[in-house]
A and B are shown apart, each in its own frame.
Chain A
Amino acid sequence: GAVVSQHPSRVICKSGTSVKIECRSLDFQATTMFWYRQFPKQSLMLMATSNEGSKATYEQGVEKDKFLINHASLTLSTLTVTSAHPEDSSFYICSASSGTGATDTQYFGPGTRLTVL
Chain B
Amino acid sequence: QKEVEQNSGPLSVPEGAIASLNCTYSDRGSQSFFWYRQYSGKSPELIMFIYSNGDKEDGRFTAQLNKASQYVSLLIRDSQPSDSATYLCAVYSGGGADGLTFGKGTHLIIQP
- Chain A residues packing against B (C-beta within 8 Å): 31-32, 34, 36, 42-46, 49, 51, 59, 91, 93, 97, 100, 102-103, 105-111, 113
Q: Render B17-43 as a binary contact track against A, CB cut-off 8 A, 1 for contact.
A: 000000000000001101010000111
Q: 18 pairs across A/B with beta carbons < 8 Å?
A: A34-B100, A36-B99, A44-B44, A44-B88, A44-B90, A44-B102, A46-B99, A49-B97, A59-B99, A100-B96, A102-B31, A102-B32, A102-B51, A103-B32, A106-B34, A106-B46, A108-B45, A111-B43
- Chain B residues packing against A (C-beta within 8 Å): 31-32, 34, 36, 41-46, 49, 51, 88, 90, 92, 94, 96-105
Contact, CB under 8 Å: B43 / A108 = yes
Contact, CB under 8 Å: A43 / B97 = no
Contact, CB under 8 Å: A110 / B43 = yes
Contact, CB under 8 Å: B46 / A107 = yes
B interface secondary structure, majority: loop
Given contacts A43-B104, A102-B51, contact A97 B43 (CB under 8 A): no
CB-CB under 8 A from B41, the residues of chain A are 113
Cβ distance B41 to chain A, nearest Cβ, rounded Å: 8
Given contacts A102-B32, A105-B34, contact A111 B42 (CB under 8 A): yes
C-alpha spacing A106/B102, complex, angstroms: 13
CB-CB under 8 A from A111, the residues of chain B are 42-43
Contact, CB under 8 Å: A93 / B43 = yes
CB-CB under 8 A from A44, the residues of chain B are 44, 88, 90, 100, 102
Contact, CB under 8 Å: B103 / A43 = yes
Contact, CB under 8 Å: B51 / A103 = yes
Contact of A46 among B44, B51, B101, B105 (CB under 8 A): B101
Cβ distance B54 to chain A, nearest Cβ, rounded Å: 15
